[in-house]
Amino acid sequence: MPYLSPALNVMTAAARKAGRPLIRDFGELENLQVSRKGPADFVTNADERTEKILVEELKKARPGYGFLAEEAGEIEGPDKTHRFIIDPIDGTTNFMHGIPQFCISIALEREGQVVSAVVFNPVSDEMFVAERGHGAFLNDKRLRVAQRSNLPDTLIASGAPFMGRDGQDLFLDELRMVINSTAGMRRLGSAALDLAWVAAGRFDAFWERHLRPWDIAAGLLLVKEAGGVVSDLDGRERMLETGDVLAANEALHRPLMDLLRKAKAGHSAA
Ligand code: 2AM
Ligand code: CA
């Protein structure tokens, strides 16, 4: 059984409560796909409502804590040592297209360090949890990162810089390098779930640049507690500041970082 600290209990309960209406919305989206207006407003409403439920539930249980949430931004609380970091729907584009690869992500930070993490996919009913020092779990199952160490056998996940963002050429150079050195890559569209899937050993590794703290705060702890290694792309641990992430098992982390560096060096030289 997972180790559920009191805080983690509160976080999973909030995620389940906010997840129920989200499942109903997801069902409705099938009809909206074919309407002329499209689902954009509907998705915005679902996003805002989900965040509101999460903040309400977490506030009820931990009135003093602060928040950093995707929609509301920074909400200060009297307790300066605790902060919830929330993404109400990570994988919004998937949600909008009726693809069941999205999640609610909640991390709890204590004195600047993430200590509890929840990543919940309400459609598949997969609840990923981790508590610092107590391991990572998927529902009732203890998680371990994959143990593959031979790069050509590995399946690697990433995210592409979307429209209007810098870095697309660099990403394509990195991608070329990775697909020529591994068994394949996937781009599933939710960074929080990508990290949870690394923790679960489904992906051998994940890298992406320019993410926001709420995309990755919970997922990074999941990977660490499943025995994986996380860093930014310079090998430092400033992921929440830089938004750059590389997550893998211990054997693969270094070779993958070298590979991505090689792509970047080639890119800069070009
Ligand atoms: P989101 O679904 O909460 O927006 C995928 O590469 C990651 O980038 C996701 O975690 C996604 O989070 C984030 N992202 C932020 N803005 C995006 C956008 N306009 N298009 C696609 N992904 C976006
Ligand atoms: Ca997100």
DSSP conformational letter for 116: E
* Residue of 190, 194, 195 best suited for mutating to test ligand 1, as the one with most atoms within 8 Å of CB: 190
Classify residue 1: in a domain, yes or no. Answer: no
CATH number for the domain harbouring residue 240: 3.40.190.80
Specify whether 12 is located in the same domain as 121: yes
Identify the CA nearest to 143 among candidates 205, 198, 194, 206: 198
Containing structural domain, residue 82: 6-142
Specify whether 218 is located in the same domain as 115: no
CATH number for the domain harbouring residue 60: 3.30.540.10
Specify whether 89 is located in the same domain as 14: yes
Q: Which atom of ligand 1 is closest in space to residue 192's alpha carbon?
A: 10
Out of 90, 117, 142, a domain closes at 142
199: left (phi over 0), alpha (psi -120 to 50) or beta: alpha
Specify whether 211 is located in the same domain as 163: yes
Q: How far is residue 208's CA from residue 229's CA, in Å, rounded to a whole number?
A: 15
Specify whether 70 is located in the same domain as 175: no
Specify whether 108 is located in the same domain as 184: no
Which structure tokens are listed for 237?
């641990």
pLDDT per position as a tens digit, 201-232: 999 999 999 999 999 999 999 999 999 999 99
pLDDT per position as a tens digit, 68-97: 999 999 999 999 999 999 999 999 999 999
pTM of the model: 0.97
Identify the CA nearest to 149 among candidates 258, 233, 250, 261: 250
Specify whether 32 is located in the same domain as 108: yes
Residues bordering ligand 2, an ion, CB closer than 5 Å: 87, 90, 215
